[in-house]
Every structure is written in C-alpha cells, then in structure tokens.
Chain A
Amino acid sequence: MQGIMYLGGISAIIFIIGIFVFIAKEGLPFLFGAFDLKEFFTSPRWIPTSENNPTYGALALILGTASVTGMAMIVAIPFSLGAAIFIGEFATGKTRETLKILIELLAAIPSVVWGFIGLTIMNGLIIKLFNVPIGLNVLNAGIILGLMAAPIMTTIAEDSLKAVPDKYREAAEAMGATRWQTIRRVVLPAAKNGLVSAVLLGVGRGFGETMAVLMASGHSINIPHSVFDSVRALTATIAAELGETAVGSPHYGALFTLGILLFIITFLINLTADLVVRGIRKK
C-alpha cells in the first residue's frame, strides 16, 4: 500500500521529467541544425513549408501569444479580483456558496466550447459593434481567454483573502475603518503574495491555452498593431501544424522548439507564482 502511495507521489516528477526529455529529444536535432537563434526571436516570418527557403521566425507567434494573454489579463484581473473580494469579504451564507459553485462550474467548461463561443457569438458581435472586417482577433481571443482564466484566478485570490486572519479586519474596523478601507488598506496588502500568484497562474493559463485561442484569434501570422488584428499563438501553431509534418523533419523539430519555449515560459511563470506564494520575495 505504502509502495503505491510512494509511486503515486513520485509519478508527477517522473512524468514532468519524461515530458521534458521527450520534447527536448524531438526539438534538439533542429536546435543544433537549421535553427538560427537570431531569426527565431526576431523574424516574424514563419514559413516552414517553403520548398527552397523555409524560415522559422517565431516573433509573430510569440507576440501573438503575448498580446492575447495581455488582453486576457486586462479582462480577467478586474473580473477575478472583484469576484474574489465580493465572495471573500462581502457575500455571506447562501450567496457565497452559490457563487463559489458557479465559479467552479465556469472553470469546468471545455476550452473548445469557449472557442466555439468566440468563433460564433463573439465574432459577429465584434464585427457589428466595432465595424471591423473580421471579428476573430486579439480582442476576441483575449476576452474568451480572460473569461477562461478568471475562475481559477478567482479561486486562488479568494483563498489568499481568506488566509488573512480576521483579527486584522477586526483591529482596523475597531479603529473606525469602513469595510472598504479595511479591504484596501489592510486585507489586500496582507494578501498581496497570493493575489500576485493568482495573476501569474492566470498568465500561465493564457500562454498554455490552445484550442480556444486557435479558434478565436483568427490564426493568421501577424505582428499585432491593434486589438482588431488577427494573430496566431505559439500553442495554436503547434496544434495546427504538427499533424502535417514529417517526423524528424526540420519543421517537426521547429514545432518542438516552440514547445520547449512554451515549456520554459510556463515553468518560469509557475515557479515565480510558487515562490511568491511562499513569500520568498518578502524581505
């Protein structure tokens, strides 16, 4: 019995190392072959299928992912912090329980359904509202992704608000602070680490999300100049192209290199979130 528990415990470590080894193994031949570091990070030309002169510039993809994630955070941060403050500090009894269940339900909606909403409802809405030719763009994908990331961010933010001892609120209120003053001047600063890590995990979610972004972003290689430009994300590129490449080809390796990049970014974001939660950045 204990052996099974132990196996279960270390399996996570084995899997993560396994995944990394796999991605690295597939990506490395390309990294040491056709890979050009400067081109990869500075060129927006992602033309891996060219017969004579394939180029592997990931800049547009990186910016695509970054712009959609940035937009998503603009949507998700006010939503999720607002929801967390309401649930954690104001709502009581049934309201609170109902809201918590609803938010967990929201987190369980499959990403393809979100993508579908982006593709159909949001697309038409954006075209109509802003009078733009295409509604599949940074704005669309950002809003969808923001709504997707908000529930988990809300849950973590609310946990960190709940972890603030009530004696602080009582002390502030006994000095004559209103509910809002207490939240703004005592609770939020005390919960700061948890809130930052909630945002970081949301960012990590944004970088990693594939299907909804693929469907709602327009999936066209572009350096975005406004929120109404279509973009293509790193994840969506891998998902859309990997099935059509020959195993072991430079294109195949390039896609795995994108995977390595994503892996490193999300790893760093999650690590930072974790360190922040543990308060290591606190002096």
Chain B
Amino acid sequence: METPPPTPDAPDVLANTEIAVRVKDFSLWYGTFQALFAVDFNVKQGIITSLIGPSGCGKSTLLRSINRINDRLGYVRTEGVIEVLGKNVLDSDVALPQLRKQVGMVFQRPNPLPLSIRENILFSYTLHTPDARKRTKAEKDQIVEEALREVLLWDTVKDRLDHSATALSLEQQQKLCIARLLPVKPRVLLMDEPCSALDPEATAAVEELIWQLRGEYTILMVTHNMAQARRASDECAFMLMGKLVEHADTAEMFVTPRHKETADYIEGRYG
C-alpha cells in the first residue's frame, strides 16, 4: 500500500513486453449479425491499453468476449482464439469461474450488489476461497480494509461498512466495484467505459485510481472519451465497424495516426 504509484514513464512498466491477452483472428456473431471481423490484438502486461472507436464498432463486444460474459446472451457464436495468460479462454473446457477470477470486469454503470459494503468486497473472495468460512473475522476485516485502501475509499466508508453499498455516491460505487475485484488478485482488469456515468470530478478521481493500479494489473479500458484515452492509457487501439484499425502507443497514435480512419476519428470528423 505504501509503494508510490508508478509514474507514466516509469521504465519498469513499459519495458515489460509480455502479452497478457492475445486475440487471434477473432470473429463474433450475434445471431446472424457479425459484430467482429478477424480481430488481431495483443494487450501487454502491466500497462493500460485503451480501446476507442465510435458507438457500435465492437469495442465493448471485444472486451466482453475476453471474460466470456457475452455468453450470458445465449445467441453468440465466435471463431478464433483469445488467450489469457497463455490459455485459450474460448475452449469448451475452460472453467468460467476460474477465468473470471483472473479477469475482473468493471462496468459502465456502477453495479455494486444490493448488499453491504463489506459483503460486496468479500463476495468474490468467498466465491473463490474454498475455506472462506473458516477464516476469522479479523482476517476478513483485513481483506476488506486492504481492498478499500487500495481504491482510496477506506477513510470515507470505514465507519459504515455494514451500510448498503447502493447508497454510496456513483463515484464511490465505481471505486467499490473496482475494490471488490482485488482480493482475488486478478491479472487482468477489463473496464467498460468506467467513467461514463460519472461527473468530471468523479471521473478524474476514478482515472487517477486506475492509473495507480497500473503495473500491478493489466488494464484494458473501453472508452468513448478520447481525451481520457489520451491522458490515461499507455497504448491505444482504434476500432471501426468490427475491425481493429490501428494499435499503437497512445502518444504516437494521437500525434501521428497511421490510418486515415484513425485520423478522422480522433480529429472528431465522425463518432
């Protein structure tokens, strides 16, 4: 908790070239509608990669394929490979609970469970810890405190851990939704427009928090907000009409995009 947040140009993070998520030739259909076309995309470990593109371009679909939460819809068909830490998550023998333990997700609208703050933090932990019942209250308190400290929420909520999480402000809810992923030590955090329901101040606070988690977790963030992608990510990928158009260092993409479509989009000609 005492380690200072890594700075944007800390070499130890960016020097890491290991791939956390490898998407190979991945296509996806909703019923008969093809939403993704042969996407190839590598997400490097320990950095923040942002996914940008106009509405309906498939960026959320791609994100939601990585933890297979799209499976819930029941009419999704896929082709290709998505490897998370070396294992193809589309294989039929993949244990979804295991996968989702390693790949946490933060949603567009904060969605704390209608339980207390404490229960929200311990939810994932008890799911994935077989002997969770035997853990003492002190151990669980410790876990709750650590998770809340990590998202800078501890001081605000420490006196009302038994209050309902849904009564918190949106900013606090979203931070809680990040905090509840941390006790099971995920490797990858998927964030689907994590700030789009928040006001500018809350956005800044959550962005700062995400930046702090960088290094420890691999973060893939869908965003509608180009300014956010620019200031809060290391690498950036641009999608259009279900295809991945360009993937580069954020600084590079925003200054010298290689494709015309990318240039048009970041200059605001559409989207």
Contacts and interface: CB of A to CB of B under 8 A. Distances in A.
B81 interface: no
Nearest to B67: A174
Interface in B159-203: 177, 180-181, 184
Contacts of A177: 97, 123, 127
Given A170-B69, A170-B72, A172-B123, A178 B97 contact: yes
Contacts of B123: 172, 175, 177, 185
Contacts of B4: none
A184 B134 CA distance: 20
Contacts of B3: none
A186 interface: yes
B98 interface: yes
A117 interface: no
The interface residues of chain A, by DSSP majority, are classed as: helix
Interface in A152-208: 167-178, 181, 185-186, 189-190
Nearest to B126: A185
A173 B69 contact: yes
B129 to A, nearest CB: 11
Contacts of B113: 168, 171-172, 186
A36 to B, nearest CB: 51
A168 B114 contact: yes
A50 interface: no
A175 B124 contact: yes
Nearest to B190: A174
A131 interface: no
A181 B101 CA distance: 14
A53 interface: no
A92 B74 CA distance: 10
A185 B124 CA distance: 11
A172 B115 CA distance: 12
Interface stretch (B14-22, B85-93, B103-111): B103-111
A78 B184 CA distance: 35
Nearest to A164: B114
B124 to A, nearest CB: 4
A176 B124 contact: yes
Contacts of A190: 114
Contacts of A176: 96-101, 124, 127-128, 184
Given A174-B100, A174-B105, A168 B127 contact: no
A174 B111 CA distance: 11
Contacts of B69: 170, 173-174
Contacts of A181: 127
9 pairs of A and B residues whose beta carbons are closest in the complex: A176-B100, A176-B97, A175-B124, A171-B111, A174-B105, A167-B111, A176-B101, A190-B114, A174-B69
Interface of A: 92, 167-178, 181, 185-186, 189-190
12 contacts: A92-B74, A169-B72, A172-B123, A174-B107, A175-B100, A175-B124, A176-B127, A176-B184, A177-B127, A178-B96, A186-B113, A190-B114
Given A167-B109, A173-B69, A175-B124, 14 more contacts: A169-B72, A170-B69, A170-B111, A171-B112, A174-B69, A174-B100, A174-B107, A175-B104, A175-B181, A176-B98, A176-B124, A178-B96, A178-B97, A189-B114
